[in-house]
Chain A
Amino acid sequence: MAQTGRPLSPHLQVYKWQVQMASSILHRATGIILAVGSLLIVWGLAALAAGQDAFATFTACAASPFGTIVMIGWTLAFFYHLCNGIRHLVQDTGKGYAIESFVRSSWMAIIVSIVLTVVVWAYVLTGSHA
């Protein structure tokens, strides 16, 4: 922490929990996760460029249990950051700041991202779609 005598914001512990806090914190957390994930995307591209062996190593890692968990986590982080990001872009136009709609759109971003993740992974895991 900063070596200052003055009080520092935010004092998270003095607030009653609200969904808007979760949606805000999650946006940052998922942003950090996706930044790390972008390095994995580059790994995939570099492996595809490097040749069949390198790409086989990459796909084997991706298909492993740990790789699958990482990709499911990435999908959830991606859809949440996408939904809440669109919500923020709408709010940048000055809309949606009434408390009621602010809370509703927070929940929507969370719920829609979970639904989209479930839909995508239901498609992937049930898939013998060649």
Chain B
Amino acid sequence: MSKDLRNPLARARGLGSAKEGVGHWMTQRITALALVFLTLWFVITVLTLMHADYATARATIAKPWNAVLLIALVITMFKHAVLGLQVVIEDYVHTRWLEMTSLVLIKFIAVLAALMGVLAVLRIALGS
């Protein structure tokens, strides 16, 4: 008799009790890798724009590659942040209702902030 209490199909799928397998872990790493490049590019871009006037800053962000990289940064950054904050909350918030409320709240805030950031970049890029 098998020592594993899971049925063979569940073991083959490898999705575990949370039904997402290593999805969280893997997404955290892939977004981290992307952010290594995106954030360094962002910091360098901000440094070059430090003394620029409004029109120059806006024109720089409006360039297609800069706009695309910024949108990628905003989305990746908030995805990575939610995954990280989720783990911190699960580890340290031991009151169940507070834990659940915090987990939902960070997702709401992250989605709204990401959408706001993407809209801002699009407005700049499309010039409205």
The chain A residues found within 8 Å of chain B, CB to CB, are 1-2, 28, 31-32, 34-35, 38-39, 41-42, 45-46, 48-50, 52, 55-56, 78, 82, 85-86, 88-89, 92, 120, 123-124, 127-130
Please give, as numbers and ranges, the residues of chain A lying within 8 Å of B120 by CB-CB distance. 42, 45-46, 48-50
Contact partner of A89 (CB less than 8 A), chosen from B32, B43, B81, is B32
Contact partner of B58 (CB less than 8 A), chosen from A35, A42, A48, is A48
Please give, as numbers and ranges, the residues of chain A lying within 8 Å of B12 by CB-CB distance. none
Q: CB-defined interface of B97-128 with A at 8 Å, one 1/0 digit per residue?
A: 00000000010010001101101110110000
Contact partner of B32 (CB less than 8 A), chosen from A32, A46, A55, A85, is A85
| Contact across chains for A124 and B54 when beta carbons are under 8 A apart | no
Contact partner of A92 (CB less than 8 A), chosen from B29, B47, B77, B117, is B29
Q: How far is the CA of A100 from the CA of B64 in the complex (A)?
A: 46
Please give, as numbers and ranges, the residues of chain A lying within 8 Å of B40 by CB-CB distance. 82
Please give, as numbers and ranges, the residues of chain B lying within 8 Å of A129 by CB-CB distance. 50-51
B84 at the interface (CB under 8 A from A): yes
With A48-B124, A82-B39, A120-B47 in contact, do A35 and B84 touch (Cβ < 8 Å)?
yes
Q: How far is the CA of A85 from the CA of B84 in the complex (A)?
A: 12
With A38-B77, A42-B74, A46-B116 in contact, do A127 and B51 touch (Cβ < 8 Å)?
yes
Contact partner of B116 (CB less than 8 A), chosen from A42, A78, A85, is A42
| Contact across chains for B77 and A28 when beta carbons are under 8 A apart | no
**What's the interface size class on B, roughly?**
35 or more
- Please report the number of residue pairs spanning A and B whose Cβ atoms sit closer than 8 angstroms: 82
| Contact across chains for B113 and A124 when beta carbons are under 8 A apart | no
Q: How far is the CA of A33 from the CA of B95 in the complex (A)?
A: 23
| Contact across chains for A78 and B88 when beta carbons are under 8 A apart | no
Nearest residue in A to B33 (C-beta to C-beta)? A89
Q: How many Å from the CB of A124 to the closest CB on chain B?
A: 7
| Contact across chains for A78 and B94 when beta carbons are under 8 A apart | no
| Contact across chains for A49 and B54 when beta carbons are under 8 A apart | no
Please give, as numbers and ranges, the residues of chain A lying within 8 Å of B123 by CB-CB distance. 49
Q: How far is the CA of A38 from the CA of B78 in the complex (A)?
A: 8
User: Could you say which of B43, B47, B120 has the most chain A C-beta atoms within 10 Å of its C-beta?
Assistant: B120
Contact partner of A52 (CB less than 8 A), chosen from B54, B70, B85, is B54
| Contact across chains for B61 and A86 when beta carbons are under 8 A apart | no
B57 at the interface (CB under 8 A from A): yes
Q: How far is the CA of A8 from the CA of B123 in the complex (A)?
A: 50
B5 at the interface (CB under 8 A from A): no
